[in-house]
Amino acid sequence: MSYVYPYAVTPADVWNHPTRRLTHYFVAFERARGYSGGVSKVFDESRHFKCVMLFRGSGMGAIAIIPDDDIAYNKTWSVLTTPLSGTAPGCVTDRDDSTYCEWSVEAGATVDVLQVDLGTVTTGFLRFYWYTGLPTLYVSGSNDGSTWTLIAEILKSTAGTYEDFVYVGGYRYLRFGFRNKQTTAYNARYYTIELYPDVALPFSRTFDDVNKRVVGLVYGAYYQLLEVVTI
């Protein structure tokens, strides 16, 4: 006996196949594509209907509901410098962009203001909502609580309120502060500091009438973001 693999297909195999009716219809929209060597926000909208957000590619990313997915919310926070106004750390960790703590930063000075113990070595995307006038925001990381490595430093060219995202590559402790590179004293504020978990691409997330802000973030990634909607 002889076998043929794969077996021969005849016209009858095709035309005599039972008829099936499509009961679900899908529409796919490309929301973003490209490459980011650092941190990039590639999507920022509210979801009002059922859909699947699909990140394709390689690298790290997040599809985060702001502020619900914040994983630093219930961690152990310490106040390193008492603010001029606001009750720290609650005014910064309450997931409320309207409350803030304000610090004065002398000319040429560096001020450590807050620290968080995440409990374990953690990766993810930090979200800052802050005001500068004009100190530099910086964040450092540590795994033993004593030896610190600079993760990121953000300097703005004009005074104002900003939202920035920073990638954390794996630390248990994070320390936040300001540096004043000017020749006169300035004030600076943290309104919000949040941390969102990252995932290796590709991955997807399903939404069902969330009606909240959804942000897509990538780091060191070749990416394509698709939104698949059931109609």
231 residues of the chain, pLDDT tens digit each: 444 445 555 666 555 656 666 566 778 899 999 999 999 999 999 877 789 999 999 999 999 999 999 999 999 999 999 999 999 999 999 999 999 999 999 999 999 999 999 999 999 999 999 999 999 999 999 999 999 999 999 999 999 999 999 999 999 999 999 999 999 999 999 999 999 999 999 999 999 877 899 999 999 999 999 999 877
pLDDT for the residue 26: 77
| pLDDT in the model for residue 3 | 45
d(C-alpha 211, C-alpha 193), whole Å: 22
Q: Which residues of the chain are in CATH 2.60.120.260 domains? A: 76-196
Assigned CATH for 76-196: 2.60.120.260
pLDDT score, position 5: 47
Q: What is the pLDDT of residue 199?
A: 97
CA pair distance 147, 105, nearest whole angstrom = 23
Q: What per-residue confidence (pLDDT) applies to 9?
A: 54
pLDDT at 10: 61
Query: What is the reported pLDDT for 50?
Result: 86
CB-CB contact of 181 with 191 (8 Å): no
CATH of 23-67+200-230, one of 2.60.40, 1.10.150, 2.60.120, 3.30.450: 2.60.120
Task: Let me know the angle formed at the C-alpha of 126 by 109 and 172, rounded to the nearest 5 degrees.
Answer: 85
C-alpha distance from residue 105 to each of 19, 79, 116 (Å): 73, 16, 21
Q: Which two tokens stand for residue 123?
A: 């990766």
Q: pLDDT value at position 1?
A: 46
